[in-house]
Each structure stands twice: as C-alpha cells, then as structure tokens.
Amino acid sequence: MALIITIANRKGGVGKTTIATNLAVALQNKGRTLLVDADEQRSSFKWNDYRDSKIDVISAHKNLLDVLESKVKEYDFILIDLAGRDSEAFREALLITDKLIIPTQASLLDLDVLPYIDEQLKKVYIDNRELKTYIVINKAPTNPRSSEIEQARSYISDYPNFKLLQTVLRDRKQFRDAIVESKSVLEMQSSKAKDEFNEMLIEIL
Ligand SMILES: Nc1ncnc2c1ncn2[C@@H]1O[C@H](COP(=O)(O)OP(=O)(O)OP(=O)(O)O)[C@@H](O)[C@H]1O
Ligand SMILES: [Mg+2]
C-alpha cells in the first residue's frame, strides 16, 4: 500500500507545487512514486512535461478516491498537489492521506488560515486516525535577524494537532530556478536550498 503524502493549504502561492515536485524527485529514488496534480492549473503536470527523465504524474481534480483506488497498490508513494483553496479534491484527499504537509509563509496574514484548517481536520481525524499533519515554513526571510519565524512558531504552537517542522525553507532563488527548469533542487548543484530540502525529507519520512 502506498504512503500517501498530500501537500495543501487553503492559500495560494505558498509553495505546494514546489514541495510536491521536489518530493517527487526525492521519493522516486526510494520507491515507485506517483505525483497526482489535483489542481486545475496543472503546474506539476506541466513541470513534468518538460522533464527529460519523466516522473509518473497524473492530472486528477475530480473523483480522487476513485482515481486512486487502483494506484495505491501500484505505487509505494503517492503525492497529491492540491489547489490553494478548499475543494472537493482537498476533502477527498484528506480521507486517505497518511501525511499532510501544509507549507505556509511566516507572516500573520498567511498563518490566519490555520485555525480554519485545524477545525476542518478535527472532523477528518475521526475517520482517518492515521493522519499526521506537518507545517513547514516556506519562503522565510534569509535575514537571520528577522523575528518573523519565531512569531510564526509561537502562533503555530497554539495548535497541537500541527507538528511544526524544525526545517525552515528559506526564500531562495534555487527553488524558483528549479521549478522553471523542470528540475528539483536535488538535481542541481549543491546549494542551501538542496540542504534545506534534504533536512525536511528526514523530518517527514
Ligand atoms: N522556498 C522558496 N524560495 C523561493 N521561491 C519559492 C520558494 N517556494 C516557492 N517559491 C516560488 O513561489 C511561487 C509559488 O510557488 P508554488 O507554485 O510552489 O506555490 P503553490 O502553493 O503551488 O501555488 P498555487 O496555489 O498557485 O498552486 C513560485 O514562483 C515558486 O518558484
Ligand atoms: Mg501549485
């Protein structure tokens, strides 16, 4: 049975596709991996289209449970990249997800969606007791003096169902370059982005 990892947030532009595509490359080395692009924008799907070494990516934003029924036996890892809003696909995905990763930026304006997700998840945990929810701060300022991250940590600590990752993904050009070049930061020259992503992998696997 596949381990199902969903990358979601009700906000757009927080790095869901960045994390999903990088995870797809990382997990491909560990087992049979399927990336499900559940966003009508099809960013992950297009990212794969331009790759030389293709990954198994399907586009599916309706009837996710039906689509994935047979796939869970075929793959070791299934990644689901969702749209940045509440959707039928989001609710369906939550029922079968083992690990939910919520990327967020550190500003209060981005964090203010978390109470709503927390409420929504309380109902999901009743049916899906295995669900583990991680938050990763993404696009964080590289300035070590910025207090934003500490503020975010304090805010998130009020929600015990969320496990905040120690790893912080900073705002780094390599993440932007990788996605534009249809690559993962793991396939590019050594960089801080690569180190951070590897650190995150250890925490979530
Ligand atoms: N750590 C990072 N450092 C620098 N740029 C980043 C980082 N993470 C994401 N980005 C950039 O931010 C933008 C949005 O990222 P991405 O498309 O992954 O977000 P998303 O949550 O999938 O957005 P959407 O809700 O539109 O699907 C992209 O330009 C991406 O390259
Ligand atoms: Mg996206």
Q: Check residue 145 and give its pLDDT.
A: 81
Distance between CA atoms of residues 57 and 23, nearest Å: 13
Q: Of ligand 1's atoms, which has the minimum distance to the CA of residue 196?
A: 1
Separation of CA 16 and ligand 2 centre (Å) = 5
Residue 72 to residues 5, 12, 69, Cα–Cα distance (Å): 12, 28, 6
**pLDDT value for 64:** 96
Give the integer Cα–Cα distance in Å for 181 and 177. 6
What pLDDT, in 10s, does the model give residues 24-55?
Answer: 999 999 999 999 999 999 999 999 999 999 99
φ, ψ for residue 63, nearest 5 deg: 50, 45
Q: Is 91 close to ligand 1, i.e. is its CB under 6 Å away?
A: no
Q: Which fold has domain 3-204?
A: Rossmann fold (3.40.50)
Looking at residue 144, its pLDDT comes to 78
Q: What whole-number distance in Å separates Cα of residue 10 and Cα of residue 84?
A: 5
Domain boundaries, the chain: 3-204
The rounded Å distance from CA 73 to ligand 1 centre is 31
pLDDT of residue 146: 85
Residue ranges in the chain whose pLDDT is less than 50: none
Residue corresponding to tokens 């496990």: 163
pLDDT at 189: 93
Does residue 168 have its Cβ closer than 6 Å to ligand 1? Answer: no
